[in-house]
Structure 1
Amino acid sequence: MTKILLLLANGFEAVEASVFTDVLGWNKWEGDGTTEVVTVGLHNQLQCTWNFNVAPEKLLHEITLEDFDALAIPGGFEEAGFYDDGFSEEFQAIVRHFDEQKKPIATICVASLILGHSGILHNRQATTYNHPTSKRLAQLQSYGAIIVNERIVQTEHIITSSNPGTAFDVAFTLLTMLTSEENTLKVKDLMGFK
């Protein structure tokens, strides 16, 4: 079984987390059956950006990183405290661990800033929230990332994306990395994506 650590910062966007649980969950039951998602956070209860409360399955201190094959991180809002957890040393150590092991890391929207803050995007191509009114691309560039202003940027084992609208595509890209293109097409078809 391929285990995916879904790392949830307080203030994450629920829709961005749900694409990972849904796509990889559909794969577990209807695809090749190889993926299992475990939700993990720093707190017993997390409040999403829009006040939806979630209890992660595990706390960080309860897991062994070596048990996981991939890392997925949804984005969130600064106003909801997203970067308090995201930029914490606990989160940063997890990101560096997965990068050192060259295991897949998938992020949606501003979650790539967590990667940038950890130092792993220095001299690597990446993107983040790119609306013209946002300063997030400049923030990511300040971490040494090579900015590519596209919807999704895959560099080696790392996936970054430009906005919440990319969420399903990021989850399907991760599924392809973990299984196969053929399996992903099957899951997409079953989920109604043509």
Structure 2
Amino acid sequence: MANPISKSLLSVLIALFLISSTLAISDVPFIVAHKKASLKRLKSGAERVSVSVNIYNQGSSTAYDVSLTDDSWSKDVFDVVNGNVSKSWERLDAGGILSHTYELEAKVQGMFYGAPAVISFRIPTKAALQVAYSTPILPLDILAEKPAENKVELAKRLLAKYGSQISVISIVVLFVYLLTSPSKSGATKGSKKRR
């Protein structure tokens, strides 16, 4: 009878050991980074690119000596006008977020395909720097020739696409208005009867 109990106890101890070793392994930072870029046309005809990089620590421990480097912006094509394409922080706690933004001005027309930003960080239990990459950005059509939008053509396209929905909504709104507003002839008849 002692034999089945000792086997059960041994299997429980092995299971606890495996679970604790799994939890110990997962006690590291897990860095996720999202890079986003948007174009803004200036009145002077120039175009600016606003870039933001958000770095998240989804792990269960702190990342130290966190640095962001985004060298995908060629100096022949872009000038940095606000901020820097690299940034460093002392630490990123578990569950924390770091954000960095900068602005570039485009010098050359054409399609631009940006590479992911590189995030390096240190874990106290490992000697080597750890590296993570941000999401890449969607292709940017820099200084693209955009035809002037004719307002009448835009209204025709919107009416063709959403005309039936606009008609239905207008009829429903008119119906609700007629039901909820008091009729003027009924209001005057009622006031005459009260006198």
Q: TM-score, normalised by structure 2?
A: 0.19
Larger-gyration structure (1/2): 2
Q: TM-score, normalised by structure 1?
A: 0.19
Greater percentage in strand: 2
Greater percentage in helix: 1
